[in-house]
Every structure is written in structure tokens, then in C-alpha cells.
Structure 1
């Protein structure tokens, strides 16, 4: 509010009901360049934020008897039109920015406000009535806004341009002495740059509205918001190796983080995506999730990647728009065509814009949860060739379980990727990371619980000690999902395990596309092969399993091809197949799961089946007169007939020290046919002393052998 400087105390009462008893002049220290520049650049916003602004017109006089309700007929309107206030350059933003401006005459009489006087003000200034009413100034052309300053004067020539900064929402340094022409040239350049940016944003928004995306697929979506990232100090080796790959201009096109179910792949993906995003290196991310609509397949995969690239790289907008304008059906075309036209072509045309900023990284998580084996292999093949013969640096980080289609996909693009097997990282390192996770989660659980209960129910300081956490970490290693499930159970007392859901997801893929008869055959084979693997006292290689169970090695290998996510299946048929985690064994044989899923394994039936297989091997393989007990070694020794012709095969070595274990597990439920009993009677009658000596040497329990004697 400006009030006559000679009045120390002025008094007026407006429609607001405010009574002004004293007015102090607002001053800016013009000798301080920083303060003065900030004031000029912020002036429009200050006025805009004001609740009400008052204008004192010292050259307008209004008598007490004049009718304010009809200002256009009032006698003071001529003086109002001629007021110097409307000719000053700086008052333009004082008029436009505030939502409410009240005008007062020389004698303090209220003349009206910006609303009641809008027609008169419009005629005086040429400012659009809509602008006076608060419409966004971006709705008015540059030339129209420039015209509002016509005829206005300022003390300094440069201020004619500077007083328009707020009208055009520009921020520039003050350069007094540059002259009016240069000041307006700088203003024009800044306006043009902002207009170009505004047009680019408008085009970008328009383009994005045309691209169909998979909601929730990006790492920063609401669907992923509460999912964990790596705690500080954990997974350091893996994160460092992957980050180094992304920054290396000579690195392979892809990095495959390969890990069995529950090993923490997605947590690492989210951590890396966030890290790459902060460094402006992330191009896009897609987190596959089976059963979550478009996130479970490729129908919107490349469209979603394209949309994110456009958001992060505005320079791509024009090129992607050209592709869509040229072929509006591109999002339904073959994956190869989508990839080439929507991603490779635009990126190659804008490569020079990013040349100094390193590679663009695309993060693809849980590729194994993408429906369609051929689609997953195609994605691998396309990204492996991304940098082939093209002047761009595109890096693709993928995670998946070691499922067969994905292993086949990577096998077909050798030398185009770097990989890391999470389940082969030193277990000591994994256990340390899981220990840190338990410390963090249990500390949070304890704090939240103690906050929610009275003092007498609070957990003591001895709850969650280092030794207790150490035991939990040992039990959970190497599966992070076991640790998270344990913490969830402790926090919520809810026994429904995410592990069960994960194991079912993997196993159900065995039955994909099968008829009812084929499913029954698969269930029978699964219970015999996998049931045996989880109940063997010591793991065996597939070659020994095949001979022991009298099932062809090819049949076993074909079944196990789909189970790399839950079993540790080595590339060599001479190396044993192991459980990744005991929780898978519990999932299969827990009696409580008998009616919960179709893959349940009857423990007694399987022990009985194995015992029959053992006795068959013993009866079939050995001529009792030539039995060399010393050749039955423990632990098992690989069979090499050239090195040791008398060394039995692995399954034979396994049978002798372990058949008692399965008989003991059956207990009184042991049921053998007459042929098996006769074999045992003949065996122990002739060679009982050697067998007893053998079992004593191995330290095995022989209670079964002496039962009933």
C-alpha cells in the first residue's frame, strides 16, 4: 500500500473493515545488489501472495457525496483515467498479480476495487479483463502481454524490460547500464527459451497420453513403494560389481543377476534402480509380476519402457512421436519391430545429447515371471544386440530365477552379457547381510511393539540379542525371503508364509499346458524324483538317482530343468543335486500341507519307496561271495572303473550305509515283500559279521539289525 509520505498517520476504513492507523514505507536496499536483484525477481510473486493490496492515487479526488455504485458515471473517472499510476512501468504487475486491489482517492475515499472497476481499468490499460480476473498469464500471447506495457515509463531505461519479468515469469540478473534495447533482447531470448521448454513439455505430455503403459511396473510406482531396498552395508559386493559394469563404456550389453527363489534379487533391483535414477543414468525400469495384469506379460512392456525413456529424456519426444504418427498400431506389432522403432531408433538419434553422461541403463526385474517362454527369450535376444553397430551406450540389467527358458535364452547370446549367481556367493557374506537385516527389522519390531503396549508388557533389553539373531541368520541363510518371512511372523503372528506362495508359483509351471492325464503322470514322477531328493540322507547326482530309482537320466533331467529356482542343480551329472533351503523340504512334506497343494509328498510312502529301491539295488548288484566291504567308502567316492575296477557305483555306495536310515524312519510301518525278506535273511546269515563291522566303522545306528534278537 502506498500512502502519502508527508502523512505520518493516515486513517481509512475500506470494505474489508480494516482500519489503518500507521503506514510505514516498504524499502529495499538498492545498494546491495544481491538483495535488490532478489527483490526484483520475486516482486510479482510477493504481490500474488498478498491477500489484499491498496493503491493510493494522490492525483484523484472524490467527494463524499459522489455515488460509488456507478463509478463509470462518477465525476472522478476522468481523473482516474489520467492518473500517473497507470503510466508507471512497475505498477503493471502491482495491478495484475494480486487477487484483490483496492483504489483510494487523495482524501482517503474508497473508489472501488479491481473487480468493480475492471471495465474502466481495461479501457485505460488495455489489459484483458480475464487477466484482471486472475486467468493464467500463459493463456495470453507474448505480443499481447508486451502490449500491456505500451506508454508506461520508468526512471531507468532498463526497468522498462525488468518490470515485465514477473509478467513473463522469467528470472534474470540485473545489468543496469546495458540500455533498454539490450535489456529487451535478453528478455526476448529468455522468453523464447521458456516458450520452447513449455512447448516441449506440452508435446511430451500429449505424447505420453498416447502410450499405453503397464501400471505399477516402474521401480518408483506406488505398487513398489513399500517393497524393501538393500540396507546400508549389505550386498556391497554385488552392488559394486553391477555399478562398475554400468559405468564401463566397454562392458557387455547385459548383466544377468541369476538367483534362485528368495535370494533377494528384486531388493537389489530396486536399490540399483534408485541409485541409477539419482545419478540420471536410469532410462527405464520394469518389474514383472505374474498375475498382476499387464505386469505379467509383454503386451505393454516396450510401450512402458518407451514412456519412461521419454519422461527421462525429453529429446526423445519428437522422434517417438514421429514413429507413432507414422504407424499408430506400433504398440501391437512384433516385439522386434517395437524394440527397433520405439527404443533403438530414437535413442540412436539422440545419442549425442548423452554422450558425456554415460550409458542409459534399463532395469528389468523378475523376467521369469513374464508369461510366455518365447517372449522371455526374445527380450534377452533383443537387448543383447542393442549396441550392435549403433552409436549408443545402452545397458540392460536383468534379474531372474535360473528357469530353463531363460537359461536357453542366455545360452543363445553368449559373450553379450556378464552374470552373477547370487546363490553361489560365499554363504558367510550372505549370512552377515541377513544378520544386519534381522538386527534392523527386529529393532523396528521391538520399538513399534513397546510403543503400543503398557510398560509392564514391553519387551526387555534381552529380546533380540546378538546370539539370538546369529541363530536366526544361520537358519535363514541363504534365503532373504526366509528372513523376511520370519520377521513378518514375529511382527504379525501370522503363519501364512510367502515362501509357500513362492514355491507354489515355481511348481505350478511344471504343469503348464498339460492335459489331466499328463498332469497325473507328472505328479507321480515329481513325488518319486523330488520326493526322493528331499528325503535322501545324503544328496546324490542325477546319474546315481537314475540308477537308484530306475528312471532314465533324461527323464530326471527334463523334470529338474524347471526346478532350478528351488534346487541347486549343478551342470555336471556327477555332482549332487542339493536343496537350496530346508524350507522347500518342509513345504513338500509338512502334514499340514496335505490338502493345501497338489505337490505334497507323503513322507512314509517315499521312505518305503526308497527302501524298496535300495534293496533292489543290493539284491541285483552284488554277488555275495565277491562283496568287498572295504570298497564301500563314506563319504561317497566317484565311480571310476578304470582307476578302481572294484569301486562300486555311487548309488551302490550310497545304498549300504543308508538303507537302515529309511527303515528306521518307517519304524513299525516297514512293509517288505517276501523276496526282500529272503534276501535280507540270506545276506545277514552269510555276511552278518561283515555288515556289523561295516556299520560300526561308519558309526551308523544298527538298532534295526539287532531288533528282536
Structure 2
């Protein structure tokens, strides 16, 4: 950077070209508009021709003002950059924002605004807005970057500064006042900053993008000649790269995703009052932070949620959206919920990015932690750390649709408890719109929120007149479109027919939508189909039957005879039954491979079902239910009507389990080194995604992820020698390798544990194999998650000699490596070591069912672990001396050295109550059988009624046959396992065949004594 200064004789000269920022002296800077051919260039000044240009006057005025303000140096873009040097030009453009930002003062010269008129002071605001300076692209950053900006007229009369003219500048440019005040650009969403350049022009087309580089603090190569759109596209890619968190999100979960693209939004003049109420709630500063919109199936909740999200996005208020979808992988559970929300929020609030990145650096496994940890570290803390937050800015709304379709009820309750904390954010006002069916666990979750945290509206309690009006509008619009497309008479449908449809529909919008899709079926007669629908008003059908029976019965009656009808029903149950119970939707191509049905047959069978299924024209895209109520119609038993289309879930799950096993066992299915990796040390992160997709197509990935789910839901056990046993004996390691490649290693431990529960009898060969496989997976999952092929080398090499898995796959050990001595003969008693505490463990305890383990430590935490997987479920703060589960396992009580007792909800990690004022430290604590009273070494404590949920009947627990006596673990009165000295002073817990040892080092060891 070179600066200008006045020489002794009054001529202009340059300083040296400063390379380091620290060497640059204080300087003023000029912002102005260019006059074609009259600006003083670098060459003009270099060769002494500067005074010949009209633009020299600006330089003199700027120099004089700088000297008057006490600054020797100043900078002007036209003559301080050698534009013939492409390297210098590129560096200057990429540094321009920073140069204006570093300037002591910026002088804005408005060459087309005269202060000579006697009325100029009174008319300054409207007159100044007409200046050309506001229409140029480069002047945007010249207004925003400097902290001090002074405005001058054509006569160089000072008009004011950025502070005194702030409101005028805001009105003219649309730039937020907070941005004009010098707040960091990261406080402003990307699209808001993009909007500031609207209406501005640049001489060179590409500068429309380049003038924004400083606004977004990015750098890109200058490619003049590429055109404006390409330059803007490159800029957006660079912005996305810089703002990208690169964290896993639930694909298709946002309202504007491809999966949601063709789903309906509210028509004009429908749901108007409701949408206005939602908008008012979001805008009000004193409103409750959560809005719960509930309603039974088919009442239009998702359509309203999509519409609200769209309207909030248009208003710049949409912070994030997540549309749950049952049976659609990560959209059907909470595993990627907070990472998806955090990713979207960070795009709107870039100032969150440093906090999120720091959290991920400090805890690389954060995304597999408890929901509470993810919420705190990905959302709440990054929001709290935003500096100079913008006051009085519209709230950011998070839209969550179909929460009832989230698989685990515990996760739903945890999400609701955590969302209730959004009021605690000071930097950004958050609002959360939730839609769901009014299921019991969701109602209870909302009731457990603090008073004043949410407001609700029940859709099926909306005045009937409003619902009828909206459904009528919808029917008139959709049927009118069919009438025009089919060239039907103008009096179709009749007013009586529309009214009858309204009466049949209320309160279900899904009925009206399905009717319109059915009536408009290609190749069908709309008049005939409409009359068929209306026949169902004369019978006592449920609303689900009225919605879907006409569609399916029409197809069934088109079959020629009873045999054809039975064949069609068999094919329907086989194909559509599979589609409705799949854990994640599949394409026609994938369905064909999985179900072994030719693609042409699948397309033929589905062709008449466009009224109830979303069937893309592209075979590679997933076939989806248009609405979850179609699944309810097919799989939920209803006694009042005979439903020939009903699907037996147990049978279908059994068939799908068999198909998955067959697909994985096929010659083109699972095998060793399925992706043909070059060497056994290749890491999962180094394998190209396209390579994985080529060798593990969607149907094979589906089979790997979900075969255990289908097997479990088929309600059939695993016996020696049958298909599941044979698959495990031949393909267990191939399956583990594939799961590593698709980033599902941690899931394997849970799946193997679930398979153990299906193996009968417990002393069978397959049960023994699965017990060994469980130990094998627990032991080697860390390396498997990193390097898939190490399952054949490291894992098999270091497995004990007696390992059943090792014996089954010994031929797959690379011959170049051998363990000559030192291998264990058998698995030791330590099933897993749970790392997490940093100081001594004071207490450990099993839940009554043995599924969870709680540990309390001097590091002021209680951690809850899954005994099957060793994964930490949650952590609680406080100086903890004792911990205990309630008899039903729903509550966890911890006693603290601060003389308090806290009662926690096991599933969510939420503190239900704090019992203060205890006389002194509590060292021992236990629940009485009613789960309503705690017995401590200082007396009994009754729990507040609000902290106790309804209790399930408890079964009597048999006393354990395992005890710990001095240095021995004793089973059935006989010494079983000797404990080394470092394990003798541990805190201990026993459940059936499991023993837990909490050590002074902070390590928690879990032993299996089977």
C-alpha cells in the first residue's frame, strides 16, 4: 500500500510501498464517484500529467482537509494503485475493505450535491439521497468499513458525518444501523449483506461480486471477462466454504430441501388468521418462546409449518427448520437434530461459527454426545458468546414439524425440555414453532416446561366455520384446475358436490388433498371418480377409510375376476406393504434389488397409486408416502370395517429381514475389502464418497443399517444353523467393515446387543457366537471406526485364542503378520472401560434393568452410561458424593457436598427438582420402593409431587448372586475373581452378571462374569 502526501512545493507525491501493516502510518482516505476520462491515474501522477485532469481538484481538496485534520498522508484509489500490474490490482481489491477500515477518517465527496442553495440545510435528507454515490457498487464498503466518515458537498462544505446522518443513510441504503455503527459483519446474515448491493452498479460487470469481498471477508482470484453471474457464483461458493461447518446434518430435513420441494403450502386466503397469529407471536418481544401447534393426523400441520417457514424465510426471520419424517433415516430420529439446527442458525448468525468450531475442536465426539451436551455446546454457548449483539432485531424462528414422528420418546422429551431454555439467550431472540400430533409423551413434555414458556393451539379445536372456509377454498382451487385441464363443463363440480366434499373432509385437509389427487388421476374420468367418493358419505366409514378406500377399491375393481383381484392384493401387500414399513425410503431401482422384483413391474404396480404415494419419474429417486396417515390406514387394525388392504407388519418385517440377508450374502453383496482399498491402513476419511456409493449402493447400505430392525420386529428368534446364524458366521466382519465405511460403527454395538436378545436358547451356538461378537465389537470399535480393513488384521490378530469370531475368520488374517506370543487365551472379565471422569469416582450404581450405569465423581459430574455400548448418555453438574436410581429407573438422585439433593430425569438429563437446606453433607442415599421418598444418612426426604411422573408397576427384583468381599468377587458364595490392589478400594455396583468398579483414577471398569 502506497500513500499520497504533499511535497514542500505543494505537489503530490507517493510514499514507499508499505509491505507490512505495522509500517503504515495513520492516513485519511477518499471515497468518490469517477468521471470518465477525468480521474487522475497512477500513470498521470508518475509522468507529471496529474494537473491536466479535472479530477486533480478532488485530490487537492482531500489533501487540504487531511492537513487541516492533522493527517500528513491520504489515499485515493484512482492514483495509488498501478492497475497495469495485475498482481497489485488483485491484492488491492482483496485488501480494499481492510484499507478503508484502517483509515483514521474517510472523506466522501458528493460531486453532484451543491451546498450553494440557501435551502440546502433544510432539504438535506431528501436531496442527499439522490446522489450518484449511493448507486455505485464500490462505495458500499467505503461507507461501512471506516468508523469515521465525513460527507462533503461539491464545494467541499461539510454536510455531516456517518453518525449525524445515520438515519438518512439507513433509509437510502437499507443497511442496518448496527452495521453503520461499526459492528462486526458476522452479526449480519449472508443474504442481508447481499441485499445491500441491490440497486448499485459497477463499470465492470465482475466488480458486482468483487466489491463485496471485504463485506464477507473472503478472497477470490480476479477473473475479468468471466461475467457477472460467474463471479457472483464463485463468491457465493467461497462464502459457503468459509461459513460451512462441515458437520453431518439430516439430509432433506429443512423446509426448502429437495425432499420437501413438492409438498403443499397453504393456498392464498386459507389459514390466514392462524398464520397471522404465528407471525404476531414471532414478532412480539414479550411473547412465550415456544408455540405448539397440535392436531390429529391429516389436519394440515405440515402444510402450515412449510408455509410459516417460507414466510419467515422471506422476512429474514427463519433461523432453522427440521421436518421429522417417520421411516426416513436421520429425519426419523434426533441423532442429527441439533447439528442440523446449529448449521442453519450459523448461516443466519455467522458470529456463532467460532464458538461452534471451538466446541468441535475441544470435543471431536460432540455429535455423538447426549442431546443436552449438543444443545449447550452447538447452540446456547455460541449464541451467548456473540459480542455486540444487535438489539431490537426480529426474532429468529426455528420451525420443527411432526415432532411425534421422532422415534424415541425420551429424545422428544429431551428436545422439549431443552427448547424451553431458548428464552435464556440474550444475544439473539429465538422463537420455536413446533407441530405434532397430541401424543401423550409430547403433552407431558410440554407440561414439564416452566410456566410461561409456551403457548399452544389445537387445530381440531379451531372454529369449524374457519376450517370449512379453508377446505372449501382448497377444493374450489384444486377441482377448478382439474376442470380446466380436462376441459370439463363450467358447472362441474356443482356447488352441492363441493359442499358434500367439505362435509366429508372436515376437519382433515388430507382427505381433501387425497380426493383431489384421486379425481385428477391421469386416464381416469373425474366425474366418475368424484361420484364414487361421494358414495362413502352414506356409510359408517372412519375418516381414514373414507380417505383411502375409494382410491384402492377403484383399482381393485378394475381387475377382471376374483383370481386377478387376489393376485393384485398379494402384489400390493408385498410391494406397498414393504414401502410403508421401510425404515428409510428407497428408489424404484433400490426396491427392485432388495425385493427382487423387476423395475418395470414395480413401476406398473405403482402407476395407479400416485394419489397416495410420491412416485418420482426418475427411478433413482426415493418413493415416499404422501402422508403418514396412509401408513396408519394400512397397518393399524380397525375393527369397525373390513379392510382387505391391511398389511401384517410382522410378516412384512420378516420378509424384509430375509431380503436384507439375501442381498448382503449375494455374490455382489458384502465381501472383504468391498471398496478395493489399496492397503489395510487406509482411513475411512480417506475413502472417496463416490467409491463407497459405487460399491455399497443404496439398497445394500439400507440392508446393512436396518436388517436387525426388521428381524427384531418380525418377532422371530435366531436359532442355530438358520439363515441369520449362517450370515453371521460368513459375513460378520464384512458387515462391520461396511458399517465403518458408511459411518455407522457405533451403531454396530447396539445391533449386536439386540441380536443377542433374539438368540434362543441362551446356551445355543449362535448365542455363544453373538456374546463373543459383542466382546469383539466393544474391544475393537475404536480402530474399526478409523480404518475399516483393520478388522481383518489388528482385530483378528489381537483377539484371544479362544475367540469364536477369531476362529470363524482366521483365514482372513493377512499372512504377512503373525503374533508369535503374548496373545490372551480368552477374553478377560473387563467388558469395557468407560473413560470420561477426570478425578476419583465416588459412587457407581446400576439401573434396575441393568441397561444404564450412573457414576459420580470428584470432578463435579454424574455420568449416565449405556451398559450395552459403553456410550455416555448424559452428564450433570454439581459436587457429587452419592448417586442412586429410583426403583423404576426413571429418576436419578444425586447428593452433593453443597448440602443439596438433586433429582434428575434419567432419559433426558433434566433436573426435575433441587432439595436445598440439608443439614450437612449427604454421603449415602437410596430411594424407598414408592420412588417418592429418599432415605439418606441424615434422614428421609419426601420428593415434591411435581418431580415424580406416573410410576409403572414394579416387578420384584431377585437378589444378585454376585457380591464383592474384600479382594474377591464372589459368585454363589464361591470366590470367582481376585481383584488386584488398585481395584480394591473402588466404589462398586453389581447387577446380575455385571460388576462395575469406579476407581480413584476416574476410570469406570465394567466387568462381565458370564
- TM-score interval for Structure 1 and Structure 2 normalised by the shorter chain: 0.3 to 0.5
Which structure features the higher share of strand residues? 2
Which structure features the higher share of helix residues? 1
- TM-score, normalization: structure 2? 0.34
- TM-score, normalization: structure 1? 0.47
Larger RCO, structure (CA 8 Å, separation 6 or more): 1
